[in-house]
Amino acid sequence: MKLRNFLALSLCICSLYTIASPGAHGPNGEHLEQSSNKAIDTLGRQSDGSVVLTMKHQALLSITTLFATETSAPRHTQLDAVVKPHPDGYAKIQSSSDGRLDAPSAGIRPSGSKVKAGDILGLIRYQDTAYELASQTSELIAIRNRIAQTQRDVARLKTLGDLASKQTLEQLETELLSLEQQAKTLQQGLERPEYLVAPISGMLINRDASRGQWVEAGEPIFEIISNKQLLIEASTSDTQLSSQLVTAKVVQSPNVSLNYIGHAPRQVNGLIHMNFELADNTENSGLFINQNISLRVQVNEQHKGIVLPADAIVLSRNNLPQVWIKLSAERFLPQLIQYEPLQPGFVLITSGLGADNRVVIEGASLLNQVR
């Protein structure tokens, strides 16, 4: 009987100790204090800022914790960047002379159409003034008359046989060949249109081109951009960063990895422009030309800290970053921290959190809203 009473008393003491004792340590090994001398009247937010939730409510909020361990991680920094077309994956289609745009058999294609190298996008039909047309026609007639006369001279010399001068005959035949080439070129200029051909495969941009439109020489009519070849231009004022880069990822599209090409040899407004290209050559990168993006760049430098998912970081009432630590089975305590972003989805806690703490990594935002 005495033994049974002793065991019951021991269990009560242990139970009280579990609720009251600190279950976590700070960054320097100190105990994280909580209200040990106050009874827990209700669930939810307590007067000391902690939150008490039963296991049932924790399951409803999908609260998941992780034991924090100190480790070394490469330093990351964030850069502002803009998406541009790659010089090798970009083409402008222009007319070499004035004329009217006509449609090929496939019609005028709108922006967003996929084209292949060699596709005919349009035709430019020349429309000279009446004076220019009359002048070119007159020149063509004159050349054809000279061709006819030269042909008669060649035929006459050939009928003379050995009496004809071979040198004169060769000169006439050479002149005849030259005149025929001139007539052919002039005829094509009067009748044959200029074909606008796609030099590369990619996505078409129609610059308001329409059938019958008058275009001038050198005017851009179409553009083609290869989605597999994009140029990412990032800016920074750190002159040493270019020599320390390891990898880079797009924050808005974490699945897109980039290869570092190099930096421009001159500064623009005090900034250095660094160029990246798609590493995997994926066509569905989800990036658009002139889109402003952010890059998470890994630097060849190690920092010590605790790596956690980015979802574990929430804001306190004072808009300061904090995490939630599980002190006991049903009590959680907020802890202010300092951190550095790593690759998209992860952060490195550099101050405010000790090792071996059970940190909430899922459901922290919901826990933060408990009142």
Model confidence pLDDT, tens digit, residues 98-116: 888 999 988 999 999 999 9
Is residue 6 in a domain? no
Range of the domain at 218: 88-126+193-225
Judge whether 40 and 52 are in contact, CB under 8 Å: yes
Of the listed ranges 27-36, 215-224, 281-290, 345-354, the one predicted with least confidence: 27-36
Same domain, 43 and 157: no
> What count of Cα atoms within 13 Å lies in the side-chain half-sphere of residue 364?
25
Is residue 246 in a domain? yes
Which pLDDT score, from 0 to 100, does residue 114 have?
A: 93
Is residue 5 in a domain? no
Same domain, 68 and 174: no
Looking up residue 198, the CATH number of its domain turns out to be 2.40.50.100
Among 300, 334, 357, the domain-final residue is: 300
Same domain, 208 and 180: no
Judge whether 109 and 212 are in contact, CB under 8 Å: no
Same domain, 291 and 307: no
DSSP string, 13-65: HHHHHHHHS---B-TTSPBPP--TTS---SSEE-TTS-EE--HHHHHHTT-EE
Rounded CA-CA distance 95/101 in Å is 9
Same domain, 277 and 306: no
Which pLDDT score, from 0 to 100, does residue 6 have?
A: 30
- Residue 292: pLDDT above 90? yes
- The pLDDT confidence band at residue 119, using thresholds 50, 70 and 90, is very high
Judge whether 262 and 274 are in contact, CB under 8 Å: yes
Same domain, 22 and 112: no
Same domain, 145 and 119: no
Same domain, 176 and 251: no
Which pLDDT score, from 0 to 100, does residue 133 have?
A: 63
Which pLDDT score, from 0 to 100, does residue 270 have?
A: 87
Same domain, 181 and 287: no
- Residue 126: pLDDT above 80? no
Token pair 């008058």 is found at 214
Answering whether pTM is above 0.75, one says no
| Percentage with pLDDT > 90 across the chain | 22
Same domain, 25 and 102: no
- Residue 15: pLDDT above 60? no
Is residue 290 in a domain? yes
Same domain, 338 and 350: yes
Residue range 294-307: mean pLDDT, rounded? 85
Q: What pLDDT digit, counting tens, does each position of 41-65 carry?
A: 578 888 888 889 889 888 888 889 8
- The pLDDT confidence band at residue 342, using thresholds 50, 70 and 90, is confident
For the ranges 81-85, 97-101, 343-347, 356-360, the one whose mean pLDDT is highest: 81-85
Which pLDDT score, from 0 to 100, does residue 346 have?
A: 86
- The pLDDT confidence band at residue 9, using thresholds 50, 70 and 90, is very low
Question: How many domains does the structure of the chain reveal?
Answer: 4
Which pLDDT score, from 0 to 100, does residue 14 have?
A: 34
Q: What pLDDT digit, counting tens, does each position of 142-155 carry?
A: 888 888 888 888 88
